[in-house]
Amino acid sequence: MKRKNGFLGKDILSVDQFSKEDLTFLFRKTTLMKKIVEAGKKSKMLQGKIMTVLFYEPSSRTFGSFISAMQRLGGGIIPLQGMTYSSVAKGETLEDTIRTFECYSDIIVIRHPEVGSAKKAALVSTVPIINAGDGVGEHPTQALLDLFTILSKFKKIDGLKVAFVGDLLNGRTVHSLSKLLAKMGKVEFFFVAPKILRMPQEIKDQLKNRVSIIEAEKLDEVIKKVNVLYITRVQKERFSDLSIYENIKNFYIITKKLMEKARKDLILMHPLPRVGEISTEVDNDSRAVYLTEQMRNGLYVRMALLAATLGKIK
Amino acid sequence: MKRKNGFLGKDILSVDQFSKEDLTFLFRKTTLMKKIVEAGKKSKMLQGKIMTVLFYEPSSRTFGSFISAMQRLGGGIIPLQGMTYSSVAKGETLEDTIRTFECYSDIIVIRHPEVGSAKKAALVSTVPIINAGDGVGEHPTQALLDLFTILSKFKKIDGLKVAFVGDLLNGRTVHSLSKLLAKMGKVEFFFVAPKILRMPQEIKDQLKNRVSIIEAEKLDEVIKKVNVLYITRVQKERFSDLSIYENIKNFYIITKKLMEKARKDLILMHPLPRVGEISTEVDNDSRAVYLTEQMRNGLYVRMALLAATLGKIK
Amino acid sequence: MKRKNGFLGKDILSVDQFSKEDLTFLFRKTTLMKKIVEAGKKSKMLQGKIMTVLFYEPSSRTFGSFISAMQRLGGGIIPLQGMTYSSVAKGETLEDTIRTFECYSDIIVIRHPEVGSAKKAALVSTVPIINAGDGVGEHPTQALLDLFTILSKFKKIDGLKVAFVGDLLNGRTVHSLSKLLAKMGKVEFFFVAPKILRMPQEIKDQLKNRVSIIEAEKLDEVIKKVNVLYITRVQKERFSDLSIYENIKNFYIITKKLMEKARKDLILMHPLPRVGEISTEVDNDSRAVYLTEQMRNGLYVRMALLAATLGKIK
């Protein structure tokens, strides 16, 4: 059965919007994009198309990834970092800014510190909006690239053991990815976090009918069991009682020594930037994918998403 | 008779430089550009050409519009926002900066807070300079897109009733556009402004032999008569006596209720950004073109201008 | 004999890495690039390739030159000025940033205030790194464009009389260029500088076996003899005793009057930006090349370098 492009002309706002079929379609196209880039092929798929990249807060990684994706497919860019200093300073609403750039471009990628801003943009826009992070809200393309990375490695999700480690209370990345994984199959989750930074009950409620969840405060037993170890940062600023932070912080740092306990078929992931959560001595471990596959998949997924949204793949 | 491209290799500094024939030529090409974009065609008209966009003050709208225009025609860009923090900080003169970028590109678009800066640039440049706003001086491409918007709607200028509303003293947009309109035909102007922000005598002197001018402080009678209602912002900061501002400010806000008095064939324009001068409830009125035709025409006019200046259309 | 492309896949970190054969190869390609641009030809040599331009300090000239070079050859760009405000602010290491952008692009051009940063980047990168200035370290593409400018004018280096003027202690440009010139032939150097800003002994030691060196504090005798007069800025801030600065500063300003003493076949060079070291009255002297050939050669050399590094010329 040929799958339909469910992305054509659609906004990409939240992982909640994707069906399993959508994801299967997108990842088949992502694999295609990977081949194009790896073969050094020139693609003109999006020639003549223009993408506005409207960033209200800095993020060179996501910014660069989208910009590369568009140009790898022959498209053009309106690169706008530091929007805060421009029209915003003149008092213009987000809605007016969006209606401006829908006139100049075929798709708008937006990053904004306020939750719901991408949705607000989508409500007035006639061109597709891609949410590239709306504060503590969502960052769906991060979750997509993470899921693609896991699927590429393990082929199937059923029975997969996935540990999320660090600040699971505030991490939009782990919330989104856990929901996507649960959509794809019967995954076993290990949520490893300090007590005050545990996965929100609301997310667990959404997941629990479909998956098994084990919660822990320490990593040393969990690391022996899991296929995927997904690390996020525990920020000092989250703790009102710093003695608690000092007590626990080292439990969440991935070292070479700790990696010795892990499975041979593990993959170690991180959304980056990292600030010490994974020791650099681990970077050359073949199981570490955060600076290699995971990063490159960000490019491929975004290429596929742009092409699908703009109707250039079927 | 085939019209000549009077733009080839020329600087675009001021609306004063355009003859009626120039404008007719340019707008014929603008219509062509509109068709290219609306049909989703790929154009390679400016392939191999590079445009420097040299912005000494932020303006994401004009910046994005030029950048899109160049790439829609296959050209490349050197996007330089925030010039103030670069060479300027090192003490370089504008002239040296211009002579640098004329070596790297085929055309330079400049925005600078000082009146006359674009002309200064043109004096030393061997490549065409486009003035994208020189402080309270001129912003000729804004006037061109405004005129094109009016012409597209009404086909001819003779007998057209055009109201300019708001700060007519400081608004470079209304000065330029009124001069262009007067060039094209026998227009009837209505200048609606608070006493302290009336159209300068100098501009009126330039216009008066060719057009009729009626001045008013209030909009409610004028709005019933006009074909074009062009709104600009009345800035609180212009008033030394704030009680005057408080008294009059509401006369210049366009509401749904006020629009009921307007003609069916009216078009409502605004150069943007707006900060309350037009209520958002008016946005969906089919006569409101500031977020639709007017904005898109900015792209088309700039595409035509780039192609004409670089000699790629005849 | 056909020369080999010694640049393929290589980092460009320091002028020390180039052999005479490398330079001959590169400049033959530079001449080719010059012809492409001057003929207004469209090149697709680097179509499908992406260059990241990672600037941790502002430099619109070098930034614009690389960006133009890449697009003149059909390639795409990830333009990142103001990196300091992005990932760096989040505490990410330079190494992680580099490993990110090697995933999104085929080559990375970096400018960073710290000496050795480009080398640090090259150590972790799988794609070529081009050093576009690492603080008081090196800026090899500046030296390359300077050498190409001299060679284009005089064809051979043997017997050429070259004066460097200004701050020879801190000027990375003059250090690099003097080393390159010494590689190419038997040049006669004149180092003209205030006592406290003389060429470092270390550089002179590297040069002295191959070239002749004359040092002077004043320019008026030297200017009569030389073929190349290369001016750099003497910064007030370098002097703890300002009376010394006041005494000497005028000796290093190039005026029309001073140029009357110079040879007819002289070329007057400056890396820019200038802040008064060369009077603007000299700009139209046909011997002044700093705003013309020297600047344009920056574009051509960088085009050749990108094409050679990415393996698109043989």
- The DSSP secondary structure of C30-58, one letter per residue, reads HHHHHHHHHTT----TTTT-EEEEEESS-
Residue C9 lies in a domain: no
Decide: helix, strand or coil at residue B97. Answer: helix
Residues C148 and C199 grouped into a single domain: yes
B283 shares its domain with B192: yes
pLDDT per residue as tens digits for the range C242-285: 888 888 777 789 999 999 999 999 999 999 999 889 999 999 99
Kindly determine whether residue C87 and residue A43, on different chains, have CB atoms separated by under 8 Å: no
Residue of C nearest to B51 (CA): C68
Contact C185, C158 (CB under 8 A): yes
Crossing angle of helices A20-38 and A293-309, in 10° steps, is 110
CATH of residue C92 = 3.40.50.1370
Cis peptide before C273 (omega within 30 of 0): yes
* Residue C4 domain flag: no
Selecting from C91, C103, C105 the residue whose C-beta is nearest the C-beta of A275 gives C91
DSSP C12: B
Please indicate, yes or no, whether residues A285 and A300 belong to a single structural domain of this protein. Answer: no
Task: For A82-96, give the DSSP string.
Answer: -GGGTGGGGT--HHH
Q: What is the pLDDT of residue A2?
A: 58
CA distance linking residue C302 with residue C298, whole number of Å: 6
Residue C54 and residue C166 share a domain = no
Q: Among candidates C97, C94, B86, C70, which has minimal Cα distance to A64?
A: C97
List residues in chain C touching B: CB distance below 8 A. Answer: 40-43, 58-61, 63-65, 67-68, 71-72, 79, 81-82, 272-275, 280, 291-292, 295-296, 298-299
A50/A178 same-domain check? no
Say whether A275 and C76 touch across the interface (CB within 8 A): no
Same domain? For C47 and C85 the reply is yes
With CA atoms as reference, report the closest residue to A176 among A223, A209, A234, A131. A131
Percent of chain B exceeding pLDDT 90 equals 81
- Mean pLDDT across chain C: 93
Do the Cβ atoms of C35 and C90 come closer than 8 Å? no
Which residue matches tokens 């900061």?
Answer: B237
Residue A6 lies in a domain: no
Q: What is the pLDDT of residue B238?
A: 75
Which residues of B fall below an 8 Å CB-CB distance to C?
A: 47-48, 50, 52, 76-80, 82-83, 85-87, 89-93, 95-97, 99-101, 103-105
Residues A29, A148: Cα–Cα separation, whole Å? 11
How large is the average pLDDT for residues B177-206?
95
Q: Please name every residue paired with A78 in a beta bridge, in sequence order, or none if there are none.
A: A52
So what's the pLDDT on residue B4?
A: 80
Cβ–Cβ < 8 Å for A301, A141? yes
Please tell me whether residues A23 and A113 are part of one structural domain: yes
Angle at A155 between CA A153 and CA A156, to 5 degrees: 125
Q: Mean of the pLDDT values across residues B230-242?
A: 85
Phi, psi (rounded to 5 degrees) for B200: -60, 145
The answer on pLDDT for C128 being more than 80 is yes
Q: How many domains does chain B have?
A: 2
HSE-CB of C248 using CA atoms within 13 angstroms: 24
pLDDT at C3 over 80: no
CA distance A98 to chain B (A): 10
Residue B110 resides in a domain: yes
* pLDDT score of C172 more than 80: yes
Write the ipTM: 0.95
Assess whether pLDDT exceeds 80 at residue B282. Answer: yes
The percent helix, strand, coil of chain B (3-state, each to 5) is 45, 15, 40
| Residue-level pLDDT at A283 | 97
Of A24-28, B30-34, C84-88, C120-124, minimum mean pLDDT range? C84-88
Nearest C-alpha neighbor of A52 from the set A114, A108, A120, A111 = A108
Say which residues have a Cβ less than 8 Å from residue B97's Cβ, sequence separation at least 6. Answer: B54, B83, B87, B88, C60
Which of C48, C50, C82 lies closest to A41 in CB terms? Answer: C48
Higher pLDDT, A235 or B90: A235
Measured CA to CA, the distance from residue C143 to residue C15 in angstroms comes to: 8
In the predicted model, residues of chain A with pLDDT beneath 70 are 1-3, 85-90
Is residue B107 in some structural domain?
Answer: yes
Residues B305 and B288 in one domain: no
When the pLDDT of each residue in chain B is averaged and rounded to a whole number, the result is 93
Q: What is the pLDDT of residues A161-173, one digit of tens each?
A: 999 999 999 888 9
Same domain membership, residue A219 and residue A79 = no
pLDDT at C250: 76
> Is B58 in Cβ contact with A50 (below 8 Å)?
no
Determine the distance in angstroms separating the CA of C298 from the nearest CA of chain B, rounded to an integer. Answer: 9
Q: Are residues B154 and B234 in the same domain?
A: yes
Residue A155 covered by a domain: yes
Find the CB nearest A68 among C86, C92, C104.
Answer: C104
Verify that B167 and B255 share a domain, yes or no.
yes
Residue C162 lies in a domain: yes
What domain range includes position B273? Answer: 141-294
Residues A234, A203, single domain; the answer is yes
pLDDT at site B213: 97
Bond before B194 cis per omega within 30 degrees: no
